Structure 1
Amino acid sequence: MIRVLTLDQVADQLQVKPSWLRARCEGREVPFTMLGGSYRFTETHVEAIVQQYEQAPKARRARAVPQEVPRLEARTPRGPNRRRKTA
């Protein structure tokens, strides 16, 4: 005999909020069966939901190799009372 689970049971099993699962059902984003006007799920449905939202781990990025920063040279300071000549 096929075991049928309620929305609350599946939400608890998947550790998600029932409202999250209900929204996915209403949007027809996850597999379910409608029995007596309520969302019902089989173990196959639950496994499909887990596989649907499974994500592969991202590859680690290599660390950046520090590059030599060019040094800036200071210019000679102007005197406090020295003004530019205007033509």
Structure 2
Amino acid sequence: CYGLGKVREDGEAPLDGWELATVATKIITRQEHELRNLRRIAQNPAVQALIDQQRQHAIDESTARSEQEWRRGKGHGPGGQRHTGD
């Protein structure tokens, strides 16, 4: 398969190590280009703001879920009721 560097663009298998190296170099170059593009996108202030917003939303959801589970749980009072300080 071409994606693993075992086949040339024309579908033929590399005949020697140099052809395999050429295929591997093209794959690495393509991946480096993709990584640079992703880093450029991630550095955009609007993207950073969205990431921060999503992170805060996840924290808020987790906190709310923990509090709801605590409220549904048993307290230390008679019959498992909640008391101030539970």
- TM normalised by structure 1 equals 0.20
Which structure dedicates a bigger proportion of its chain to helix? 2
Structure 1 or 2: more strand by fraction: 1
Rg comparison, structure with higher value: 1
Structure with the greater relative contact order (CA < 8 A, sep ≥ 6): 1 or 2?
Answer: 1
* TM-score normalised by L of structure 2: 0.20
